[in-house]
Structure formats: structure tokens, C-alpha cells
Amino acid sequence: MKNESSRDHLQHVILAAKGFYARKDRAHDLDHALRVREWGKKLAVEEDADLIIVELAALLHDIGRSGAVEKTHAESSAGLAVNILHKTGYSQDIVERVKDAIVAHSREGYEPNTLEAQILYDADKLDFVGAIGLGRLFTLGGVQGWPLVGENSCETFYQEKIRGYQEHLFTRAARVHFEPLFLYMEEFWQELHNERIKISHSG
């Protein structure tokens, strides 16, 4: 019965979050949050973390991306999450721990000091590698008006941001999952440049 109640609470949180994510760019939408939740659950089991904290933080970590009135989207998301969780009936202890994880997930002024916060950070990064990571990158590039390659492009974002994620991951489990997905992206960019060279030479 307790498990059913917990699932009901989670569904209420997802419904509340859905409205906020509808206003986001498609690289940071509800689907992204749900994937981060799944990565978070996997890492939480492998690292023996508090699953409910990780799930809630993952679901709500980006709800403040648009219309943020505070300094960072993480702070804005954390504030909105507190209101949602209070209304849904979660205890103050859970609310505070989820807030702490969300506010630190972008490492802008805050560091993820709890295991659950570290797992949220890692899970968020795992959703930016592999085939899904490429899809998100190109979606973000479309929103920002980036070209595929060249200055201020999808490729430079990959080189300057995504390539460096692995060395900043907190958990061993995340590093294990990250490696093959990262290699897939490396091979993609290599293939893209090979094709561009062939096309330029054929012309």
C-alpha cells in the first residue's frame, strides 16, 4: 500500500512538472527529465543511493529553465520543486534533500556534496552522450542557430563541453556507462569529417 502511495505521489509530481516543461526548448523537455530519472534510478541502485530523492530531483531538475527570476536555472528549478513537493505531501526532509540536489546539478555556485546530488549531476550528463546526446545537441543547435561545424557550432559545443564531462563525473557507475556512449559520439564526428573531406575532394 505504501508503495502504491509513493507511485501516486510521483505521478502527481510528473503531472505538475509537465506544464513547466511544455515551455522549454526540446533539448530540456519532459522526455529529457524522464530519461535523467531512468539514468538516476540505475545509478542509485548501483551506488546504493536514496532512490526517491534521485527520482524526484531528476524529474524536477530543469523546470525553472524558462522565466527564471533567480540567478541560475538550477536555483529557480529548486524553488519551484519545493512548492510542488510540499503541495504533493512530501516530508520536509525529502523536500530539503531534493532541493539540495537540484540546486547543485549545474555546479553554478553550488557543489553536489551528497551522493544523491552527485548522481543527479551524473545522470544529467549521461543524457548528453550517445545517439540521444547527438539528437539533443542538434536540437539545441537548432534553437541557438548553430551551424553543424565551424565557429560557435554544434561541434565546438561538443568539443568544449561534452568531451570534458567524463573527467567530472562523480560515480564509478556513471563512468562505466559513459564510456561506450562517448566513443559512439567520437566515431560520429570522425565519420562526419571523413564524409566532408570526400565531398570536398569529389567537387
d(C-alpha 17, C-alpha 60), whole Å: 6
- Tell me which CATH code domain 2-202 carries: 1.10.3210.10
d(C-alpha 72, C-alpha 19), whole Å: 20
Domain ranges of the chain: 2-202
pLDDT digit string (tens) for the chain, length 203 residues: 355 567 788 899 999 999 888 876 788 899 999 999 999 999 999 999 999 999 999 999 999 887 655 578 899 999 999 999 999 999 999 999 999 999 999 888 789 999 999 999 999 999 999 999 999 999 999 989 999 999 999 999 999 999 999 999 999 999 999 999 999 999 999 999 999 887 766 55
